[in-house]
Amino acid sequence: MDWIVITGVMPWDGRYPFDIADSEPTTREWGFIKRLSGYLPTTIEDGLRGADPELICVFAAIAVRRAGKIQNDEIQGLFDRLADAPFGATVRLDTDTSELEDDGDVGPPAGSSNGNASSSGSDSPTSSETSPATPEGSGTPASATSGSDQPTLVISPRRS
């Protein structure tokens, strides 16, 4: 679990759960992210890699809203207060690194194939065989994706 920690901005001081991978932003929350930090779903990774202070501040405002401490119309005001305060001392994103620390080097799973085991299932077509035709699509490009095909944002701990 990741956490947003706010210090020195009363009455919102505290530690708020913010695991964006498990609870993806709503359309309204993406609007806040876009308007207040300029990031979109396809560019947000850049902001995370760079630890963009405005992005972290909007995450903090969203976390406080998710906790029921503020309403939608109060997001901008809280963001402004957080943005005017010293960044590292006021808002920080704590990531859960316990899984990485417990497992050490994350390699392939135990019992992975060594290439000598026989396979199961049907054979793939050879290069001389014809693959089945792909059905023609209809509708808009956005309608061709399902929820599982949407980009997933994962906040990873910073590595030195």
pTM across the whole model: 0.60
Q: Residue 28 falls within a domain, yes or no?
A: yes
Instruction: Check residue 97 and give its pLDDT.
Output: 59
CA angle at 36 for the pair 35 and 38, rounded to the nearest 5°: 65
- What's the pLDDT tens digit per position in 124-149? 555 444 544 544 444 444 444 444 44
CB distance 155 to 48 below 8 Å: yes
Q: Residue 125 falls within a domain, yes or no?
A: no
Residue 73 lies in domain: 3-99
Q: Residue 117 falls within a domain, yes or no?
A: no
| Structural domain total, the chain | 1
Q: pLDDT above 70 covers what percent of the chain?
A: 60
Enumerate residues 6+ apart whose C-beta is below 8 A from 41. 30, 150, 151, 153
